[in-house]
Amino acid sequence: MPDSTLIADHYTHGSLVDALRQGIQRLGKTTETVDIDDLGPVDEFHIGGRIATEGFLDQLDIESSHHVLDVGCGLGGASRFAANKYGCRVTGVDLTHEYVETGNIICSWLGLDGKINLEVENAMHLSCPAETFDRAYMLHVGMNIADKESLAKELYRVTSTGGKIGIYDVMRVGDGELTYPVPWATEPQGSSVDAVTTYRAALEKAGFHIVAERNRREFALEFFAHLQSKTAGAEGPPPLGLHILMGSTAAEKIRNMIGNISRNILAPVEIVAEKSS
């Protein structure tokens, strides 16, 4: 079972703001002129990036009046997308201090700091009162959380009656040993990948009613194939991309990720559930 320190250490970069400033400069822009689309390749740290975010969040029926929780927000890419597209207020929580600090800086660059607040918190023990949020979601977070039942219980507590939650995680869909490192863990001790049935059972036990489920394996393989063809002839990585977050092992992590999905051991899966009245 990965502890919070192991998880935070895995994701900590050390000089992330400087790396992003350099990437923005290579784009020919400044922190005053960079926009939300420019940053999408680096701040949407999950399979499918911005395309996946939009298709996933649209299922939650988010309205401008809603207060939305982004669990494991990372740099806050999905938070910014949600606030920008739906006009809602977003609170993001994450264990990694550097991600939260950098994410809030990015929000200020884009003028979204009035709608978004990113905080360092443990998703298992949130400090907010019950029924604080109209919507909640997490994108590629549960692979670092072993106790899915406690996670689902906490999500149920903070979601308002009639509210919806969405989970887009990499889940186990078949038998076999995983190849490491992967984007969320360098070694097995840092990983808590679970089966779709485990998520389903945890949500239902907490009191949620599951309204939608979608296996995104084919979408993931197409996404990675497109990514590989796009970078095949490139001289080095793009100015802004996930290599900034994953470091020197980025290519190996992506290669292993593709292998695990191709062998049908893992797949990104979406689950949408509702807290019924």
pLDDT per residue as tens digits for the range 60-81? 999 999 999 999 999 999 999 9
Count the domains in the chain. 1
**pLDDT confidence band for 243 (50 / 70 / 90):** confident
CATH number, domain at 125?
3.40.50.150
Residues with Cβ < 8 Å from 135, sequence gap 6 or more? 60, 62, 66, 67, 68, 69, 88, 159, 163, 164, 165, 166
pLDDT over 80 (residue 14): no
Single-letter amino acid, residue 10: H
Q: What does the alpha-carbon distance between residue 226 and residue 73 come to, in Å, rounded to a whole number?
A: 25
Question: Does an H or E element contain 270, and which?
Answer: strand 266-274
Q: Which domain holds residue 140?
A: 4-274
231: enclosing H helix or E strand? helix 217-232
pLDDT of residue 242: 75
Q: Give me the mean pLDDT over the 228-232 stretch.
A: 71
Cα separation, 170 vs 196, whole angstroms: 9
Is 90 exceeded by the pLDDT of residue 206?
Answer: yes
Which pLDDT does position 209 carry in this prediction? Answer: 98
Please state the pTM of the whole predicted model.
0.91
Render pLDDT for 137-173 as a digit per residue (tens, 0 to 9): 999 999 999 999 999 999 999 999 999 999 999 999 9
Q: Other C-beta atoms within 10 Å of 30: how many?
A: 11
- Asked if residues 268 and 196 have their Cβ atoms less than 8 Å apart, the reply is no
Alpha-carbon distance 103 to 85, whole Å? Answer: 18
